[in-house]
Chain A
């Protein structure tokens, strides 16, 4: 039995809309624009599309998208749960479908008006994906509060400081300052700004939180054979994994033996097992950054450092261009756009094509991750 997804498929097209606090067009229109841009980039006609994958939180559906873009008969469609944890899994599901012959041309997409639309936590009726009865009545209302709880403990256990979190925020902002498409393109960040900014949920301040963005993105996935005929340099899906660890509870991971080791650890184990290379061979990383503390946690989970060493890893410019592990080179969710991590996937593709606005010289391998703290997913890309 040698069935494997390794390098069997490739991302051959990427597309995106503008990113802004408020865009005029609705989510469906934005989705169509991003998808059509990705298909144009791939040199593939929309009528050839026969597979779709997105998030369960995506409000535009396959039926509407397929008929709007003029897709053909669709033979595979899937949606992945747990908010931003599903980002890389959309690529994984399509890779599996294409590699096993269930479809030929797959589209993964995310369109979201989170900038001008409602904040999900303001809904007082919905039982959010977290078990709300145990947390929300006490004013633990927002994802930021839930993650801040783990962050405080992480700082206590491992001696992490706000300066470590600032290192993450700064690296992302510096890359956004190189990226004209980023919402924070012309907005440099200083340590003083960070340290004096308002609190959102102590110990997390404003700059520890991602942006709120309107925007849409899409990628096109085909077989490796087909990819070689496409105009862009293929970016291969080398390894992909989802992760829901034993006795995990989502962002309120408070009720097991070890709340500070999350889904990244589970996804990483499977991801590296299938790969021809390890963490030390990753040239550039796009790590899900809804909140700065997710970076040190993910660095540990994906094996870039040992347990409790994630904060220290960020020191000495490690996450900057030229550092040990250049991070979120478009600016990420913290400083380019927060579209549930989909911009991390497209930026990974740009790095391996050599077309990033903050290009890592000769980048040939890239780790892209989905949200740590929720059932997650990750993908290793290679050129």
Chain B
């Protein structure tokens, strides 16, 4: 583990691109927080990192307690289970289907990259297999489409949605499409 981690960290330090250098203002090891286009990238913490690694494989997974007699899902991820206090956890694969619990349409003032696409939809999705967990995301017409690509008339609380994945400057991001195409 140690031998694997050390060279990786060195590589990350030395192989920094010019863009990354200008983005990182607080030190050479600071992670990128925005894309070239100015959209915000997820900045995972230790607990959240697996979520984003699974997303990169096209999998929507949620942390669950791995204690044999518990197994409760929890989100956002955290070190131990609030139900049984076990530190054993696993990442459970979700079907990727869910329903819209709520949504907003932000208008400017916004960060410029978001203002360009405003008003757009941000939705909260209740996954079909994880009630009580609501994932924030964007409703789009297809993976990678603009944030404003769905007609607002088609969006309502309870609408069925399906997860898709897109890539933002090399970082995988879940998005949502309506189950019914029209």
A residues with a Cβ closer than 8 A to B are 119, 122, 124-125, 127, 131-142, 144-145, 148-150, 152-153, 156, 198-203, 247, 249, 252, 254-257, 259
Contact B44 A152, beta carbon cutoff 8 Å: no
- B156 nearest in chain A by CB position: A156
- The residue among A119, A122, A141, A257 with the most chain B CB atoms within 10 A of its own CB is A141
B160-180 to A contact mask, C-beta < 8 Å, 1/0? 000000001000010000000
B57-81 to A contact mask, C-beta < 8 Å, 1/0? 0000000000000000001100000
Asked if B16 CB lies within 8 Å of chain A CBs, one says: no
Given the contacts A124-B40, A133-B45, A139 and B110 also touching, CB distance less than 8 Å: yes
B29-65 to A contact mask, C-beta < 8 Å, 1/0? 0100110000111111100100010000000000000
Contact A137 B104, beta carbon cutoff 8 Å: no
Beyond A140-B122, A254-B136, A255-B133, 5 extra complex contacts between A and B, CB < 8 Å: A132-B43, A138-B122, A139-B110, A142-B110, A153-B102
Contact B43 A152, beta carbon cutoff 8 Å: no
Bound complex: CA A145 to CA B120 (Å): 12
Asked if B105 CB lies within 8 Å of chain A CBs, one says: yes
Bound complex: CA A257 to CA B82 (Å): 14
Contact A136 B40, beta carbon cutoff 8 Å: yes
Q: How far is the CB of B42 from chain A (nearest CB, A)?
A: 4
Contact B107 A133, beta carbon cutoff 8 Å: no
Bound complex: CA A139 to CA B102 (Å): 15
Contact A145 B106, beta carbon cutoff 8 Å: yes
Bound complex: CA A23 to CA B82 (Å): 47
Bound complex: CA A77 to CA B132 (Å): 40
Which residues of B have CB within 8 Å of A142?
Answer: 106, 110
Which single member of A133, A200, A254 contacts B124 (CB below 8 Å)?
Answer: A254
Which residues of A have CB within 8 Å of B119?
Answer: 199, 202
Contact A133 B48, beta carbon cutoff 8 Å: yes
Given the contacts A124-B40, A199-B119, A149 and B48 also touching, CB distance less than 8 Å: no
Contact B106 A139, beta carbon cutoff 8 Å: yes
Contact B173 A137, beta carbon cutoff 8 Å: yes
Selected A-B contacts with CB under 8 Å, 11 pairs: A125-B30, A133-B44, A133-B45, A134-B42, A134-B135, A137-B168, A150-B102, A153-B124, A199-B105, A254-B134, A255-B132
Bound complex: CA A156 to CA B109 (Å): 26
CB within 8 Å of A: which B102-120 residues? 102-107, 109-111, 114, 117, 119-120
Contact B110 A138, beta carbon cutoff 8 Å: no
Contact A139 B157, beta carbon cutoff 8 Å: no
Contact B42 A202, beta carbon cutoff 8 Å: no
